Amino acid sequence: MLEIKNLHANIGDLKILNGINLTIHSGEIHAIMGPNGSGKSTLCNVLMGHPKYEVTKGSAKFNGKEILSLEPNERANLGLFLGFQHPLEISGVSLGNFLRLAKNLNLKAAGETKQISPMEFMPMLKKTIGLLKMDEKFITRSVNEGFSGGEKKRAEIVQMALLEPKIAMLDEIDSGLDIDALKIVAKGITETFKKTGLGVLLITHYQRLLNYITPDFVHVMAKGKIILSGDKKLAHKLEKNGYEDILKNTK
């Protein structure tokens, strides 16, 4: 369980999060939608420990453990995962080695003494690469270097599927994807969800992703707060009518 209470955060003197309250359990899919600048991406970055944001009030607990004072790698080792809106390129580090080392570090943090060898890891990686319909040549290429936008997003889901987090935050994982790539990414998320029962937080602007992934909860975020929550019908309403009426009628 990830439990966020009255979370406030700034970047410099600019207030961005103004009292977020949200609880995500394993086996739940939450979607957050909202206008540009409402704080959706900031929420993910704050929860993952991005150093440019300052938490000024509130708490975020993962299975009862306060995480806001932990380093990003410590949060990851607990089982938090962030799929980036704009994945970084890491020159000189192959995708295969990066993922195997990350997997082994997670296992070590969980108390496992046995590490996965390259020979053991390769079949797992090839199977997951295949699920996301990526060429196996990406295994030996530097992380995200020279990848197209769609390939970077698919590589993020490969990471999620292999690392098997307990809570995955996916920040606009659908942005820049054509319809075929969107279906592939959605399938990868759904298959991992079915296999591991993780909790998922989807940040998205568009209903189209939710045509392929059915959320249990949809939240509307504006001015750094969640102002309305509902089920998947709320996403259809937003697609049809936009945010204006909701923003008018919500203090």
pLDDT in tens, 163-179: 999 999 999 988 888 89
The band of 208, judged by pLDDT with boundaries at 50, 70 and 90, is: confident
pLDDT at 251 over 70: no
Whether residue 250 has pLDDT greater than 80: no
- Residues of the chain with pLDDT > 90, as a percent, come to 75
Mean pLDDT of all residues in 145-162:
93
DSSP 140-196: TSEETTT--HHHHHHHHHHHHHHH--SEEEEESTTTT--HHHHHHHHHHHHHHHHHH
The answer to whether residues 86 and 33 touch, using CB atoms and an 8 Å cutoff, is no
* Euclidean distance between CA atoms 247 and 222, whole angstroms: 8
pLDDT band of residue 244 (cuts 50, 70, 90) is confident
pLDDT (average), residues 114-120: 92
| Mean pLDDT calculated for residue range 67-95 | 93
What does pLDDT average to over the chain? Answer: 92
Which fold would CATH assign to domain 2-248?
Rossmann fold (3.40.50)
pLDDT of 183 higher than 90? yes
Answer whether residue 196 shows pLDDT above 70: yes
What is the SS3 assignment for 32? Answer: strand
